[in-house]
Amino acid sequence: MKRAALVVSSLIFLFACWQNEKVEEVSYRLKWLYNVSVVGDLYADVYGYFAKNGLKVDVKPGGPERDALKELELGHAQFGVASADQVFRAVAKGAPIVVLAQLFQVNPLQWIYRPDRTPFAGPADWKGKVIGVTFGGNDETIMRALLARYRIAENEVTLFSVRYDYTPFYEGRVDFWPLYVNAQAVIIGAKLSKAGETYAFVSPDTLGVRFVANSVVTSREMLEKHPDTVKRFLDALCRGWQDALDPQSEEKAVQVLLQMDRETPAAVVRRQLAVTRELMLPAPGAAFGKIDPDAWKQTAEIMAAQQLIPAQLDVESVLMTDLIK
């Protein structure tokens, strides 16, 4: 009898230990390929932030044909990264998506130009110039919003369809070219400097157009049925990002990125990281990942004005602002 009780209690003890050590597996679809814009996501994974919170996260790279929002709905991923325009398009079509955190506080999408050839003091200087946009992309939406805001008619500028090839900008056929200031701009800028050319950037944010970029999303069902998992994931992710952007752990962040992206030289990654830090860290006193409801509302207004989404979209119901204070 005593022996049986001992066996049963041992089994209960082992089961309890197993329960404690049980790791929950989730999948996290990034918006783009491994580059500096996902350094905190990788940092949280590699340095065990997720593991400490009892999670095993499969951090999957994104890309042009990958859509985290569709994967959430199909159950292929539990968390993802998407830009605000993607979120609004999805929500407008009934996708049950919620936003947990806002990664970029300032949109990294800006326009590069050569100040010696094309001086730019304000949007009025765009008149008569050739401006690159990706038709259908969010840079088109942002540029149209800027033109509307500064009352520049579309026939006063020439919109040029851009692709991945920068030749039209290098050749001077296009005056303003859209790029991600924390990623491509460092590489393109270095090339221009090498050729003895000067360059500068136009930031839509400083011109009053705050169009929200990468944000962390999940499904409404995930938030309602597994709030603890969401909380643990978000806590680990934000701490990972915070530490990855801390100048004191720069070398660790660079190394984690170099492990995943062997194509980009370390010196370039360091410069990219410095720019990313400025775009992502919130105002002093605010926690990393803080959602900026005003910027989200402006993004929705811009999209509604261009008839990309219906005007009556309930923005606030999508934003989970109480998760990060």
Partner 1 sequence: MLLRRIYQFFIIYLLGIALLFALKYTLRLSDYVIPGPAEIWRTGRDYAGPYLLAVLNTLAVAILGHLLSICLATAVAVLGRLTAWIGSFIRTAAYNIQAYPIVAVAPIIFILLGDGLASRLLIAAMICYFPLLLSFIGIFSEPVTDIEHFYDSTRRMTWRLQVKIRAFENIHKLTTVIVGSATMAMVGTIVAEFIAATAGIGYSIRIALYQSDLAKILVALFLIGIGTSLYLVSLEGLGNALQKRLKSL
Which parts of this chain interact with partner 1 (CB under 8 A)?
64-65, 67, 69-70, 73-74, 86, 89-90, 92-96, 134-137, 161, 163-165, 167, 308
Q: Which has the closest alpha carbon to 287: 107, 108, 100?
A: 100
Q: Between 159 and 275, name the residue whose CB sits nearer to partner 1.
A: 159
Q: Between 72 and 237, name the residue whose CB sits nearer to partner 1.
A: 72
What DSSP character marks residue 215? E
CB of 110 to partner 1, least distance (A): 19
Q: Residue 125: how many CB atoms within 10 A of its CB?
A: 15
For residues 179 and 111, give the distance between their C-alpha atoms in angstroms, rounded to a whole number. Answer: 6
Q: Between 163 and 262, name the residue whose CB sits nearer to partner 1.
A: 163
Strands 24-29 and 79-82: parallel
Provide the sign of the torsion angle of the four alpha carbons 298, 303, 309, 312, taken in this order.
Answer: positive
Helix or strand holding residue 295 (H, E) = helix 293-305
Q: Between 94 and 128, name the residue whose CB sits nearer to partner 1.
A: 94
Helix or strand holding residue 191 (H, E) = helix 184-194
CB of 89 to partner 1, least distance (A): 6
CB of 247 to partner 1, least distance (A): 36
CB of 253 to partner 1, least distance (A): 31
CB of 167 to partner 1, least distance (A): 5
Q: Between 27 and 105, name the residue whose CB sits nearer to partner 1.
A: 27
For residues 95 and 72, give the distance between their C-alpha atoms in angstroms, rounded to a whole number. Answer: 9
